[in-house]
Structure formats: C-alpha cells, structure tokens
Amino acid sequence: MSSAGRTGRSIVPAIVPATALAIALAVPFLLAPGFVASLAVQTLFTALIAQAWNIAGGYGGMMSFGHAVFFGTGAYVSTICQLRYGFNAWLGLPLGGLSGALAGAAIGWLASRAGLRGSYFALVTLAFAEAFRILANSIGITQGGMGMLIRLDQRAANFQFADLRGWYAVVLALGALAFAVALWLERSRFGARLMAVRENEDAAQALGVDVLATKVRALALSGALAALGGVFYAQYYLYIDPPIAFGVEKSVEMLLAAMIGGAGTVWGPLVGSIALHLLADTTRNLFEIPGIAPMLYGAVLVLIVGFLPQGLVGLWPRLMRLRHA
C-alpha cells in the first residue's frame, strides 16, 4: 500500500469522531433552550468530573472511591468565599481549583507515604470523603446540615445565567480544559511516568521514576479538576449541603462514567457520560420503579468490566480487529 493510502486511512478515523463531536457540541447553540440544552449541560458536567477521576484512576491506577472529597472541597470553598467574605462568584473557580489541588496533594502524600495501593487506597479515599462530610455537617461556617443557599442573581458577572446556553458555554470550557489535560498526559513525559507507575510501581521506581512525587502531582491535578466541577455545581444549582458535596453518589458517578466509557483514555469519560445519561433518561421514562436506575448502572458496569474491560471506546477497535480477522 502506498504512503498516501496509509495516510488517508490514518486520517479518516481521527476526522470522523472529531466532526461528530463538533456537531454534537454545536447542537445546544443551534436549538432553542430546553431539554436538549439541559441534557447537554448535564452530560458535559458528568464528563468533566469523570475526566477528573480518570486522571488519577485511569491514567494513574489510583482507584479512588472517594473523589467527592475534592468535588465537595471546591464547592464549599467557593461558596464560603462568596457568601461569607463577599468574593465574586467567578473567583470561586481558581480558589476552588486550588483547594482541590491542595486536598489532592495532601491525601496523595499521606496515602503514598503509607504505601497504600489498590483496595486500600480506594478505602482511604472513601474514608476521607466521609470525614469531610461529617466535618461539613458539624461546623458553623458551612451552616451544617442546613446547607448553603446562594442568592439568585442571574447576571453573567455574577456567574449566573438565565439562558442554559450560558451554562453550557462555561461547562464546555471547563470540560475542554480537562480533556486538554488528558491529551497532555498521553503525550508528555509526566504522563509516561504516571502510566508506568500504574502498570508496575516497583518496576517504575527501579527505572528511576519518583513514584511518590508522580502520584502526588497526579492526584493534585485530578483534585483540582474535580473541585472545578464542584464550583460549577454550586453555582448551577445555587445550593450545596454535606450529603450532596461529599456523598458517595458523586464519587460513583465519576467512576461509572469513566469506567463505562473507557478508563485511561481521553474520550472514555465523554462517551461514558453520554451513555450514562441516555440510560438514566430512558430508564426514567420507561420505568417508575424506585431504585431501578442504580440497579441498571450496576448491571451495565458488571457487563463492561466482564466483556469490555477497555470500555465503550475500546469496542470500535475490537470490532475492526474481528472484521479483519
């Protein structure tokens, strides 16, 4: 086969998903605000926090069950700064991201120094999330179990929008940042070191990789992105409380979307988020049985882990190999 033919075949698989993605992202701006715009905002929000989990769990192999600790930290720091100290809501984004990065670095350093891996690391992150939930439920600055209510003031300067397409633009920008980080990891030396630690921590250390620093930096990066998701959530819904901010539901949502789409891949969190929301909406419309959605989520996750360990993103290459075979 000629080099031109090989080049053409290598370009086509990259152009097709990119074109489809561009069309999908343009839909909410082409249509009137309503269900489609709301679904797009929710889908990109889930993709954002799933990509945050993916950086630590997918690329770094640090399977966290408590990523809500970073999500809630960003949500509470930004909201407290806004309500208690009069900060502009937009300043909550850098402040929330910084707080999530610091929390990620601290937890990563403590867990790595203790030599926690695998299920032990997963459990300690879950324990931190629960500890932060109890703390937020107990101290006065967070208003305890009453939660924190942000006053409605629909102005762009106040990080509030009357049109859903404004929210869509913000979450699209945050999601683009998260996906740019994932692309950078796949092409950078730091990403190569992180994936080496994921595959074999002892071998990576023997080759000269600073395992502790690599894991701490990766978890700080992951925590910052998850915290940005928490800031967006607080402004979008104008309310947070400890069970929402630090509850296990958000951790499960991040993990599910990344695992279903394909952990350790750039586009896995987005594909998983789309699949998750389509499944949730279809289930909600077809069944009115309490608790049916979590049951279906669990069933889908079992099927993905059992038959598609690389997630839905890995399905297309697998089909192509079968076709050529």
In a domain, residue 12? The reply is no
| pLDDT tens track for 157-173 | 999 998 888 898 899 89
In a domain, residue 279? The reply is no
Assign 6 a pLDDT band (cuts: 50, 70, 90): very low
Q: How far apart are CA 147 and CA 243, in angstroms?
A: 9
Q: Which residue has the higher pLDDT, 194 or 32?
A: 194
Looking at residue 216, what is its pLDDT? Answer: 96
Q: What's the domain range around 82?
A: 31-247
**Percent with pLDDT over 70 in the chain:** 85
pLDDT beyond 90 at 98 = yes
**3-state class of 137 per DSSP?**
coil
Assign 310 a pLDDT band (cuts: 50, 70, 90): confident
Q: Averaged over 293-300, what is the pLDDT? A: 72
In a domain, residue 49? The reply is yes
In a domain, residue 194? The reply is yes
How many domains does the chain contain in total? 1
Q: Which residue has the higher pLDDT, 137 or 292?
A: 137
Looking at residue 188, what is its pLDDT? Answer: 94
- Structure-token match 């690391």, residue found: 121
Quick check: 174 and 47 in contact, CB under 8 A? no
Assign 39 a pLDDT band (cuts: 50, 70, 90): confident
Assign 33 a pLDDT band (cuts: 50, 70, 90): low
In a domain, residue 41? The reply is yes
Assign 12 a pLDDT band (cuts: 50, 70, 90): very low
Going 291 to 293 to 294 to 299, the CA torsion angle's sign is positive
Q: How far apart are CA 154 and CA 213, in angstroms?
A: 43
In a domain, residue 199? The reply is yes
DSSP codes joined into one string, 169-218: HHHHHHHHHHHHHHHHHHHSHHHHHHHHHHH-HHHHHHTT--HHHHHHHH
In a domain, residue 112? The reply is yes
Looking at residue 306, what is its pLDDT? Answer: 75
Q: How far apart are CA 313 and CA 33, in angstroms?
A: 30
Residues 6+ apart with CB under 8 A from 273: 43, 44, 46, 47, 50, 257, 261
Instruction: Record the pTM.
Output: 0.89
